[in-house]
Amino acid sequence: MADSARNSTNQLDDQGTSEAEGRALLKRLRDAGFEGSDEKLAVALGRPPEEVRGWMGAAGPVDDDVVMKARGIAKERGIEIE
């Protein structure tokens, strides 16, 4: 199985979120809460902008920590991402 196919089906957390679903959550948070800016989302998540751009382009792996942070930020700001 190719790495991209395997990564899209691996569960990131106890809610059964796949990497593809995690990437979609991040995109919705970026678009709804950060004016579509990878840089603003990076600051909020405490990650480098290059890493955020990698997630958005499906080049970088999404991890459980960033998905949990994204959910927390969305909840705090009243943004529906799921």
Whether 4 shows a pLDDT value over 60: the answer reads no
pLDDT at 16 (0 to 100):
86
pLDDT at 9 (0 to 100):
60
pLDDT at 2 (0 to 100):
42
Please, which pLDDT band fits residue 7 given cuts at 50, 70 and 90? very low
Whether 51 shows a pLDDT value over 80: the answer reads yes
Look at residues 28, 67, 71 and name the one whose alpha carbon lies nearest to residue 47.
Answer: 67
pTM for this structure?
0.84
Helix 64-77 × helix 19-33 angle, to 10°: 30
Residue 13, CA distances (Å) to 17, 23, 36, 39, 70 in order: 6, 13, 25, 25, 13
Q: Which residues are CB-contacts of 69 (< 8 A; sequence separation ≥ 6)?
A: 45, 46
Going from N- to C-terminal start, the domains of the chain cover 18-77
